Structure 1
Amino acid sequence: MRPITMAMLLGMSCLSACMRVGPDFKPQHEAWSEHWTSASIEQVTQQVTQQAAEPDVRQWWLIFGDRNLESLMDAADANNGDIKIAGLRVLEARAQLGIALAGRYPQVQQVNGDVFASARKRSDGFNPRSGVYAQYGAGFSVGWELDFWGRFARAIESADANFFAAQANREAALVLLHAQLADTYFTLRTAEARLRIARENAQLQKRSYEITEKLFKSGETDELDLQQAKTQYLGTLSSIPDLESQIELSRHALSVLTGRPPGPLPELDEQPGKEGVVPLVSRAVLSDVPADLLLRRPDVRAAEYQMAAQSAQIGVAEADFYPSVSLLGSLSWSASSLTGSPNTLGVLIGPSVTWNVFDHGRITNNVRVQDARLQQLTLAYQNTVREAAREADDAATSLIAALRRETILNDAQTAARRSLTLANTIYREGYSDFQRVLDAQRALFTQQDAYIVNRSNAVGSLIALYKALGGGWYTAQPLVDAATRAQMQQRTDWGDLIDDASAASAPAAVGPAVAPAATAAPTAPAQGASR
């Protein structure tokens, strides 16, 4: 029997390796996405090699040369709650993959034992006999459903793709975090610059108001000039509390993004002289062409991995059409304390076939459900790619517009400053009324504020362009920080699983700007994290 059993096992293993029902996943890239670009993006980007000194999309914020911003980014990577949760979801997906991998081994592995007390009484005439006897036994049972149709292989494939999707989702969370933090940081700097302008203009207008007040009291001018000067001064003064509030709100937002309650931000003092500074960067530095960066965006890759996971679920569902072939075996032993009772040892082994032959409707519709879900995810993936392309093109277009306005607004504020000087001179010499001074002051304040706001728009558009192209996914922080790891290991025996999951995430973090293998992985996800 042993040679026959071994031959049967080998034959079934070969069939199991060869037969896998359900579709093999194929990426659903639309033709346009393979070579996509736009004139706007080409105008505001600069492609460099990996060896170039310029920062690439992994840590694009280095392009600003602002240590305060860099320190905030490091603090956010280490302490942000959303990133920690995303890392734990990767760990959860790795544990789910471990559950799926268990399907490769016998599904039933049971050891049982029992001890019973048995009371007996006999009566032979006037010589009654009675007693209590023990009966005991032990057994071991094994049930192994062979992966004849690839049910478990498809389940592993699905869990593996979900594991990669969890990693991509964590990277997408990093992209979003870094963009939000940089945007909030420069919102703070913009508010500081606007506050400085408002205070300078308020001080200028206050002096004009005080002069007109003295002239009115001495009878040298009428009340109209006084009230107009007062109105303009108070109007500018009223903008200051709002800007101060914006600064505080931005600080609160930065505190939360860096994983702290609202409070002091020591990172803002690491590089003095950056208060109120809004830089102008005219080009985004890219390490690859926009089409490749677009398809490697973490959220785009996550959508593709989700498609791969769902594609494998069709195979899991289709396996129900076919019989389930299992190998069953058991070893049992029983005995009794009764004198003369025999000990028994039993061995049972053999194949078992189970087939739901009258459940065709349920199985068919379950396959249809899984296929419909795959098609939904396919369309969602294509929509994600199209939306990503739109975001990148919109950001590039907005950046171009802001750069074109930069020179115009700079000239406008220079002209407004000169106009105010001339208006003051002409007014003092008595060649014009005070209204022209007020108009010149108002124009100066407006043009200076518009110039700073436009610079802020340019920075925001650059950040949006990097975000749209998937930049900023890199972090030096581990998947699970040391404190969280220690807390979890006190509750549960994690073994090497935390280290394994972190190691599986490492290639994407230390490799090229955007890991090229990530796009190809859905075609054969079981070769990745399943080791």
Structure 2
Amino acid sequence: MSFYGHLVWFGLLALLAGCSVGPNYHSPKVALPANWGEVGPGGTTNRAAELSQWWKIFDDSVLDSLVERAVTSNYDLKAAEARLRAGRALRGAALADFLPTIDAIGSYTKARRSQNALSFPVRLIDTDTYEVGFDATWEIDVFGGKRRAFEAANADLQAIAEDRRSVLVSLLAEIARNYIELRGTQRRIAIARENLRAQAEALQITQQRFSAGLASELDVAQAKAVLAGTKSQVPSLDTAEKQSIHRLSVLLGQPPGALQAELEKAASVPPTPPEVPAGLPSDLLQRRPDVRRSERQLAAATARIGVVTAELFPKFSLTGMAGYQSLETANLFSAASQFWSAGPSVRWRLLEYPRLRAQIRAQTAQREQALAQFEQTMLISLEDVENALVGYAKEKERHLALSEEVAASRRALELANQIYAVGRGEFLNVLEAERSLYQAEDALAQSQRTVTLNLVALYKALGGGWEADAKMK
């Protein structure tokens, strides 16, 4: 072939290199509701939500400090960052496939020729051959297999990045949840101890009245039973308090008791704001890391169809080698020892078509699986938000009713004490009023904790917080 023929041949390859076999990826279209169905009650709205540092709405400096330390020291997050670095390295390997491969060669061979296998005499029967040089191969990506592989590697890296963001979102919610659990438990301990003091005083008064003949032994026994019942609640509450501190310590990458001195002082449960913007359902496509990760996995599966489809077509390569070869080291690098070769090559897996077709069908099925997983992830994300919205709103209603119950129980206890003091009522009414007040106050403390926890669950369901590490650095 002439020089111009080679130019035409390579020109055609360059034109073909602009195409890529396999389907081009398009983001799936998802039918989403225009607004949240459960928004409105409890102060939730469809206004755009600022979620990058959602925990700051609680205005709690201790919680802020825990979050800042967790972002830099949590081991689950460090593991996710290591996976991200590994993904970047794999993408770099896919990019390197576009470049030619160049290998250095160095060899020494000692050989003896058979005199009986030679048709003419030679000067040397025993030879020492020295060779140094390079060989190179460059596969031209005519049908886009390498481009599809790089596209898949890039999508895989983006999916790993979203996985790290998902770990961060879960970490932030876990820190807030355990912190709120801790403050809620401390409030319940305080209520229990306040009631223990009141019940101990009531028992003492009852014993004095019994000694004076103004009360029965039954009244004393009932007062002791109420006091013992309240005492029995405290150990389990102390256990829950310790467990929350241990969990927070581990989440910060520290031994379980590391935060004991910092967190053992009781504080109130952070209150919730009067209005909670939740945004729109369409925001989840951009905010939720698990939705974004699932979409990137779908893109990678689509690109891999092109990778296996490219195997149906011939592969064109340019190969060459050059170096020095000699029987003696003294003239190894002389001009007369030079050698080289270069030229194109074609490889076509003609007899493997059935296998390749099966691989294409398998990869297409994997793409369909990734699409189904994306759609399921999207539905689950919608469900999470709707559940969090209704849970937050209904618990606020319950909290209001419990507040009224506590007020009524306090008044009932006052009346029971007044009536008993003038000898017109039974002591059992006082004990029942004390028990009812304690139960109502304890339920109210749990409800306040649950309201705040449900708001944390809402922020997590909305995918809030994954920008946190960037803003803190």
TM-score with structure 2 setting the length:
0.91
User: Hey, what does 1:109 align to over in structure 2?
Assistant: 102
User: Hey, what does 1:212 align to over in structure 2?
Assistant: 206
Whichever residue aligns with residue 355 of structure 1, its letter is W
SS of 1:143's partner is strand
- Identify unmatched segments of 5+ residues in structure 2: 116-122
Whichever residue aligns with residue 146 of structure 2, its letter is F
Superposition pairs for residues 3-402 of structure 1, below 5 Å?
Answer: 4-17=5-18, 19-31=19-31, 33=32, 35-43=33-41, 44-46=43-45, 56-106=50-100, 108-117=101-110, 134-265=128-259, 268=262, 275-286=267-278, 288-337=279-328, 343-402=336-395
Distance 1:121 1:175, change over 3 A: closer
- CA distance in 2 between counterparts of 1:263 and 1:365 reads 57
Whichever residue aligns with residue 75 of structure 1, its letter is R
User: Hey, what does 2:411 align to over in structure 1?
Assistant: 418
Distance 1:162 1:116, change over 3 A: same
- CA distance in 2 between counterparts of 1:134 and 1:140 reads 20
Q: In 2, are the aligned partners of 1:282 and 1:403 still within 8 Å (CA)?
A: no
SS of 1:136's partner is strand
Q: Deviations over 1:328-359 (max 9, x none)?
A: 11224311229999944332222211111111
- CA distance in 2 between counterparts of 1:283 and 1:454 reads 18
Deviation at 1:254, TM superposition (A): 0.3
Superposition pairs for residues 439-518 of structure 1, below 5 Å?
Answer: 439-476=432-469
- CA distance in 2 between counterparts of 1:372 and 1:282 reads 49
- CA distance in 2 between counterparts of 1:99 and 1:449 reads 60
- CA distance in 2 between counterparts of 1:394 and 1:441 reads 36
SS of 2:350's partner is coil
- CA distance in 1 between counterparts of 2:172 and 2:385 reads 16
Q: Deviations over 1:403-435 (max 9, x none)?
A: 112222111101111111111111010010101
- CA distance in 2 between counterparts of 1:2 and 1:183 reads 74
Q: Give the stretch that moved more between structures: 432-441 or 36-45.
A: 36-45
Deviation at 1:289, TM superposition (A): 2.8
Deviation at 1:36, TM superposition (A): 4.0
Distance 1:36 1:173, change over 3 A: farther
Distance 1:293 1:273, change over 3 A: farther
Q: In 1, are the aligned partners of 2:284 and 2:381 still within 8 Å (CA)?
A: no
Q: Deviations over 1:486-520 (max 9, x none)?
A: xxxxxxxxxxxxxxxxxxxxxxx69xxxxxxxxxx
Q: In 2, are the aligned partners of 1:68 and 1:267 still within 8 Å (CA)?
A: no
Distance 1:102 1:243, change over 3 A: same
TM-score with structure 1 setting the length:
0.81
Distance 1:225 1:160, change over 3 A: same
Q: In 1, are the aligned partners of 2:287 and 2:464 still within 8 Å (CA)?
A: no
User: Hey, what does 1:432 align to over in structure 2?
Assistant: 425
Deviation at 1:152, TM superposition (A): 0.3
Q: In 1, are the aligned partners of 2:173 and 2:460 still within 8 Å (CA)?
A: yes
